[in-house]
Amino acid sequence: MFVADLDRPWLETPFLLQGFLIESAEDIARLQACCRHVVIDRERSVGDQYVADPRSGKAMPGQSGATGHPATAPRPPLPAANASAESDFLPIARRLRERRPTPSPLAPRPRLAPSGGPSRLESELLQSAPIIEDVHRTLDEVRSAIDADARFDLARIGSLVEEMAAGIERNPDAMLWLTRLKRTDRYSYDHAVDVSVHLMVFARFLGLPRGQVEELGFAGLMQDVGKVRIDPELLARPGPLSAGEYLEVQSHVASSLDILAAQPGCTANLLEIVAAHHERFDGSGYPRRLRGERLALHAELAGMIDTYCAMIRQRPYSSAVSSQHALESLIRLRGSKFREALVDQFIQCLGLYPIGTLVELNTGEVAVVIQQNQVRRLKPRLLILLAPDKQPERHSRSLDLMLDPLTPTGEPYRIRHALPLDAYGIDPAEFYLD
């Protein structure tokens, strides 16, 4: 049986993540020790306990066609109107773009697409990659327009957000992959796309209406646009800032509002999100020190995703951390900077090892997560990149931990810990793009 919810907060229990599969009498005893009742999701259970929604036409979890991968998506307890996500995440596409940098001599890149033609993920990557390129190009145009004190086309940005939202509706994993693989040399642009895509993926997970999903994605792209009025050297400074310099950085919120309010088609909701995305639930944010329910939900979502995405990217003053460490940092902020329920649901949305996470195995091998397992979430599907001696694998292979494969010593493979995106000099683009 799959336990979907408890009668108390998950972090007050010994369970690592929200939602897990009961697999032994010991699991039941642990539940009985801390809970009086639990909620069971029969659609995400396995074996005799599985009951399908007759309207869905979906296979039993763990039996998605012939792939042996989960066929259902996570459904948060709240709100009820939650759209189910695509979850048949087949191996990563290699033909994402025709032009690419000169490959590094690390290793031959594995051919991952199935021989029968492009997977659903690969098709989505090929369809959505130009959208991400257009977003970066449009952000360049926005900056140029601001420098020239001219108006820019909000409608064009809105149409790109609609396209990204449609891609997320079809396959959120593909859009998350693109934010990891498509790179520029400018942190602010990468960060804007990161925040926009993660906000839309999370909003869709929460079951928000399509219009609100797009609005949040729009806000994610534009909420830091005012930084173009700050000295680039100040933004790139690796050391600590003085009090006056920190106030100057904070002024980007007011600048963002000035810039956006002057553009035709700007909405009050967009301005509200941008104005408050640095506010915090405990009143410690800026610029207005909003506290508690005075902080709008969408603005708090934008602030939390902004915080997470900043941690997983290399910044002038801070090294990138793994997604696992970033989520652990959010857990420490749970109940203070951000509402407990939002942090819990975000962890539920991404999982402990999100798509694209580099991990080290108990064998010493290094792999990347290529597919979430929505039932046994500590057992994703992996692509092995480095051998135990941290040298590139000549014949990279995929490994589905759900099938409990054994190491050469006879013990089951398991993830030892997550790694930063650039661990061991790995460039994801060299492994995943053709």
22 and 148 inside one domain: no
With a cut of 80, say whether residue 272 has pLDDT above it: yes
Query: Could you report how far apart the first and last alpha carbons of the chain are, in Å?
Result: 41
User: 77, 102, 137: which is the final residue of a domain?
Assistant: 77
Task: Give the model confidence (pLDDT) of 388-434 as tens digits.
Answer: 999 888 777 889 998 889 999 999 999 998 887 778 887 655 554 43
Mean pLDDT of 13-30: 71
pTM, entire model: 0.62
176 and 108 inside one domain: no
106 and 159 inside one domain: no
* Structural domain span for residue 380: 85-113+353-434
**Strand pairing partners for 334?**
338
280: left (phi over 0), alpha (psi -120 to 50) or beta: beta
CA dihedral 237, 240, 241, 247 (to 10 degrees): 110
51 and 154 inside one domain: no
User: 25, 51, 77: which is the final residue of a domain?
Assistant: 77
Please tell me what DSSP assigns to residue 97.
-
323 and 403 inside one domain: no
Amino acid at 47: G
With a cut of 60, say whether residue 313 has pLDDT above it: yes
User: 288, 322, 350: which is the final residue of a domain?
Assistant: 350
With a cut of 60, say whether residue 212 has pLDDT above it: yes
Task: Give the model confidence (pLDDT) of 45-85 as tens digits.
Answer: 766 666 665 544 444 443 333 333 333 333 333 332 232 22
How many Cα atoms within 13 Å fall on the side-chain side of residue 25? 0
Number of structural domains found in the chain: 3
131 and 260 inside one domain: yes
**Which contacts qualify for 265-269: CB closer than 8 Å, 24 or more apart?**
265/154, 265/155, 265/158, 266/154, 267/215, 269/215, 269/298
Q: In what order do the strands lie in the sheet with 381-386?
A: 398-400, 381-386, 366-371, 358-361, 415-419
Please tell me what DSSP assigns to residue 327.
H
**Strand pairing partners for 367?**
359, 384
With a cut of 80, say whether residue 302 has pLDDT above it: yes
**Strand pairing partners for 39?**
5
195 and 244 inside one domain: yes
73 and 182 inside one domain: no
